[in-house]
Amino acid sequence: MKIAIFGSGSWATAIVKIASETHQEVFWWVREEEIVEGVKLYGHNPLYLRQCQLDKDKITIDSDIKNIISSADNLLFVIPSAFFARSLEGLSADDLKNKNIISATKGIIPETNQIVAEYLRDTFDVSYANQAVISGPSHAEEIAKESLTYLTVGSHNPLLAKHIADNFTCRYVKTTISNDIEGIEYVGIMKNIYALAVGMCKGLGGGDNLISVLVSNGLQEIENFLSVCSPLPERNIHHLAYLGDLLVTCYSQHSRNRTFGQMVGSGYSVNTAQLEMKMVAEGYYAANCIHILNKTFKANIPIADAVYRILYKSSSAKKEFDQLTENFQ
């Protein structure tokens, strides 16, 4: 399996590390020449996840996206959703023709309010049969340390899902497969909103008791949303791709969304918190996109609604959480 990976952040770097464990050659596109030189010379990304040592002899890295696309039949995108459309601007449907497209982007395309699978289908004519998503509770920092991690590969094409899963299983990564590409993508988006909420709650002085109630209500909201936007009777919301991903994002010290939320809850303005964060907090964009989508779906998601008002309508975090806690169950 020839694999090309697109993206330069911590999660992309971790994915490259996994791929280089199971492939003889990995092709990697990054925009920054500094990263190209750092990987070629020293075997690590000088800007993100610097502690992650990479096998530079297996990696062909380039800042020319078309060169990398032409090198492999399996293209894995790990680009933050806020920059996804912009990064693919110079490409056409022909560039992605006859390719398997895999997304490890846990976010929604803000320009179109679409999950990545929908965006690729509508913009580049990539059928769902040629698409897959990689998700699950998987912080890049732990993969860098080779801590045991479980990933789920979702696809409407079970053969593709198994093929990818087999090629991303190594000593410290286990994989499962699923046919729920839409549900997995939406959970990967929404869990960031609830991690923001947990951070805000923490910043306001909330303790572990309250946070556990917040997270359990957040899981119910995710289920409410999925039941109207992408119903699937056999979906098990307690599977690692759903509940597992929510838990790690809400509770982990590595969660940038929780960190961002805690800054806002502690009194930082949204703009100041964004300036101080060195990495993208996907939940900021997700809160707005889910708010827009839910005008159609009308799911009961009061926590997500409150996070939207805090971030985009300058609503008081204390006031919003005072109201939320009156209705938690």
> What string of DSSP letters covers 144-199?
HTT--EEEEEE-S-HHHHHHHHHHT-BTTEEEEEES-HHHHHHHHHHHHHHHHHHH
Q: What kind and span of H or E run contains 307? A: helix 302-312
CATH number of the domain that residue 291 is part of: 1.10.1040.10
Residue from 197, 113, 126 nearest 155 by CA: 126
pLDDT in tens, 244-298: 999 999 999 899 999 999 999 999 999 999 999 877 789 999 999 999 999 999 9
Instruction: Tokens 């994989």: give the residue.
Output: 175
Q: Indicate whether 308 pLDDT > 90.
A: yes
**Is residue 190 located within the same domain as residue 155?**
no
Least confident range from 42-56, 73-87, 183-197, 269-283: namely 269-283
Where are the strands (E) in 139-275, listed by range? Answer: 149-154, 173-178
Amino acid of residue 198: V
CATH of the domain at 159: 3.40.50.720
Distance CA 241, CA 179 (A): 12
Residues spanned by the domain of 163? 3-179
% of the chain beyond a pLDDT of 70: 100
Average pLDDT, rounded, for the chain: 96
CA–CA separation, 327 and 212 (whole Å): 15
Domain count, the chain: 2
Verify that 192 and 156 share a domain, yes or no: no
Quote the pTM value: 0.95
Give me the pLDDT at residue 279, please: 73
Looking at the fold, whether 230 and 165 belong to one and the same domain comes out as: no
Buried/exposed 91-128: b ≥16 CB within 10 Å, e otherwise? eeeeebeebbbbbbbbbbbbeebbbbbbbbbebbebeb
- Same-domain pairing of 141 and 210: no
Which residues are CB-contacts of 275 (< 8 A; sequence separation ≥ 6)?
none
SS3 assignment, position 83: helix
Residues 31 and 175 in one domain: yes
For residues 193 and 286, state if they share a domain: yes
pLDDT at 299 over 80: yes
Same domain, yes or no: 216 and 248? yes
131 plus 64 within the same structural domain: yes
Q: Residues 57, 167: one domain? A: yes
